[in-house]
Amino acid sequence: MLVRNATLADGRRRDVQVRGERIDAVGRRLSAEGGTENGRDDDEAEAERVIDATGKLLLPGAIDVHVHAREPGFPYKETWETLSASAAAGGVTTVVDQPNTDPPTIDGERFDAKAELATRSLVDYGINGGVTPEWEPGELLERPLFALGEIFLADSTGEMGIDADLFEAAVREATERGVATTVHAEDAALFSETARERDGDDVDGWSAFRTIEAEVEAIAQACTVGAELGAQLHIAHASTPEGIDRAKDAGMTCEVTPHHLFLSRADLDELGTCGRMNPPLRSEDCRKAVYERVADGTVDVIATDHAPHTRTEKDTDVWNAPSGVPGVETLLPLLLAEAREGKLSYERVRDLTAANPAAIFDLPRKGRVEAGKDADLALFDPETAREIRGEERHSKAGWTPFEGSEGVFPEWTMVRGQVIYERTDDESWDVDGSSDGGSGDGDGGDSDERFGEAIGENVRSSSRTMANDD
């Protein structure tokens, strides 16, 4: 494929040529080989598809380092098919699954079982390993893990909270084997039991219960352990400016979620229990301070903590509703809508969602539009924003906390040279031989969408590791 005259994140207009799984060249006036503009020649073996991308934005596919695929254990919430369809429809080309499934991913056998399920993914993926008192580090850390974590310092979905001694032991094991550690940092000893006395209809009670102090102190404790052991420590879903500052002052990396970036306690009356997540939403002033740190380069990564639950599960009081929101499909669309209004630069969006995750987690073939990189690409029309609607998304959740917000969605998404998602008016065209839909049991999406085959690979697999050495 030749993408002609695309605008890159830094504003340069370039042609981008894809050969096989990689970007072959980035330059001006590259020549096609037998291609036809915006279509396909009858002889696809000889022709090269040529896309006129004038006025369009070409970005590296996003790397979402924090998702919950919900398999094994909860396929009614999400499957690898629906997760990856949702990712592809949002321009995400790599996802990293967390270990709090049922059973949790804490030993070699369970990793292998999850890895088999993940072969149904449209996009590339990583699989994290978890830590509980029953974990088997010897066999788990021998598997092709993306990272160890998220390690839970307080219970969340899956009840995998551990104590300080086990946390230190786990970080030590990972560090000795050269594996990064990601941390869900909240100190349950600093939760507010007084807030528990609030009525279940008071949805703000969850934010009052899981306090700012609980996050900040847990981040400080985790970073102290990490520094003492020389660990590569990454703080998941930091929700407070103080927590972000603690992580950065300690030389660690951190991520922020879109919901902590764009939503606050002021939105809870409208969100209801769909606004319950861990860590919880904070005050509007806190949200603004987090946004400043995202915009100024302090925060390393935006990751979604995509954690789908059904509407039925959420339709209860705040003390009994499960924590988590879907988000992988709206990650880039929300950020690009901000960039469209001049609040973030397109380069900053690229760095937060692709270049920085690739650098932090050692994915040398991903994260940038450069010759030799994997052809993980997404094409956007920055002038075309659409209203976000939960019923049109591809997650099994069927809802979104960003209902009614504007998003800039991709026209197509490519993983290692294969188009795995495209919006098209051509009802007869079948992307890479796939059938309509591609969103599993989900009902979302537009009638003019097409999905490709399940081509996802583990980014830590031996074949990918050997390829990275090319």
Q: pLDDT for 94-121, tens place per residue?
A: 999 999 999 999 999 999 999 999 999 9
- At residue 424, the pLDDT reads 77
Q: Locate tokens 């010759």: which residue?
A: 371
Please indicate, yes or no, if residue 329 is contained in any of the structural domains: yes
Question: Would you say residue 127 has pLDDT above 90?
Answer: yes
Across 304-319, average pLDDT: 98
Q: Is the pLDDT of residue 307 over 80?
A: yes
Q: Are 212 and 244 in contact (CB under 8 A)?
A: no
Residue 86: predicted pLDDT: 98
pLDDT tens-digit map of 164-205: 899 999 999 999 999 999 999 999 999 999 999 999 999 999
Give domain status of residue 411, yes or no. Answer: no
Mean pLDDT, residues 224-229: 97
> 151 lies in a domain?
yes
* Residue 33 in domain: no
Residue 425 annotated as catalytic:
no
Q: Give 407-433 pLDDT, tens digit per residue.
A: 999 999 999 999 999 997 544 333 333
Look up residue 83 and give its two tokens. 């997760």
- DSSP per position, 272-313: GGGG--SSPP--HHHHHHHHHHHHTT---EE---B----HHH
The shares of helix, strand and coil residues in the chain, as percent rounded to the nearest 5, are 30, 20, 50
**Do the domain assignments include residue 406?**
no
Q: What is the mean pLDDT of residues 147-167?
A: 79
Distance, CA of 331 to CA of 215 (rounded, Å): 23
Which helix (H) or strand (E) covers residue 15, if one does? strand 13-19
List residues bridging with 134 in a β-sheet: none
Tell me how far apart the alpha carbons of residues 204 and 198 are, in angstroms, rounded to a whole number: 9
Tokens of 152: 């839970």
Task: Write down the pLDDT at residue 464.
Answer: 53
Average pLDDT over residues 138-165: 83
278-288 b/e (C-beta count within 10 Å ≥ 16 → b) = bbbbbeeebbe
φ/ψ region of 158 (left if φ > 0, alpha if ψ in -120 to 50, else beta) reads left
> Are 389 and 37 contacting, i.e. CB atoms less than 8 angstroms apart?
no
Q: In the prediction, which pLDDT does 159 show?
A: 57
Residue 22, domain member (yes or no): no
Query: How much is the pLDDT for 37?
Result: 47
208/282 Cα distance (integer angstroms): 9
pLDDT in tens, 9-31: 999 999 999 999 999 999 999 98
- Domain assignment of residue 152, given as a range: 62-360
Q: State what percent of residues in the chain have pLDDT above 70.
A: 89
**Alpha-carbon dihedral 10, 12, 15, 20, rounded to 10 degrees:** -20
Q: Which stretches within 177-320 are classed as H helix?
A: 205-209, 212-229, 241-249, 258-262, 268-271, 284-295, 311-314
The answer to whether residues 299 and 244 touch, using CB atoms and an 8 Å cutoff, is yes
- Reference 77, options 324, 376, 379, 392; nearest CA is 324
Q: How many residues does the chain have?
A: 470
Amino acid (one-letter) located at 456: G
Angle between helices 241-249 and 284-295 (to 10 degrees): 40
Higher-confidence residue of 312 and 440: namely: 312
**Can you give the pLDDT at residue 463?**
55
Would you say residue 47 has pLDDT above 90?
Answer: no
In a domain, 322, yes or no: yes
Q: What is the DSSP string of 390-457?
A: GGGS-STT---TTTT-EE--EEEEEETTEEEEEE-S-TT--GGG--B---TT---S-TTEEE------
Q: Does residue 442 carry a pLDDT above 90?
A: no
* CATH number assigned to the domain comprising residue 200: 3.20.20.140
Confidence of residue 162 (pLDDT cuts 50, 70, 90): confident
pLDDT more than 90, % of the chain: 86
- Catalytic: which of 15, 107, 305, 351? 305
Q: Identify whether the C-beta of residue 145 lies closer than 8 Å to the C-beta of residue 113.
A: no
Whether 82 and 440 have beta carbons less than 8 Å apart is answered as yes
pLDDT above 60: residue 139: yes
Mean predicted lDDT score pLDDT of the chain: 91
Number of structural domains found in the chain: 1
Please say if the pLDDT value at position 158 is more than 60. no
Quick check: 241 pLDDT over 80? yes
Q: What pLDDT does 42 receive?
A: 41
Query: Would you state the pLDDT for residue 33?
Result: 72
Provide the pLDDT for residue 155. Answer: 57
Give the tens place of pLDDT for each residue, 325-343: 999 999 999 999 999 999 9
| 436 pLDDT above the threshold of 90 | no
pLDDT at residue 186 in the model: 95
**Residue 7 located in a structural domain:** no
In this predicted structure, the answer to whether residue 255 has a pLDDT above a threshold of 90 is: yes
| Contact present, 130 and 106 (Cβ < 8 Å) | yes
The answer to whether 245 and 254 are in contact (CB under 8 A) is no
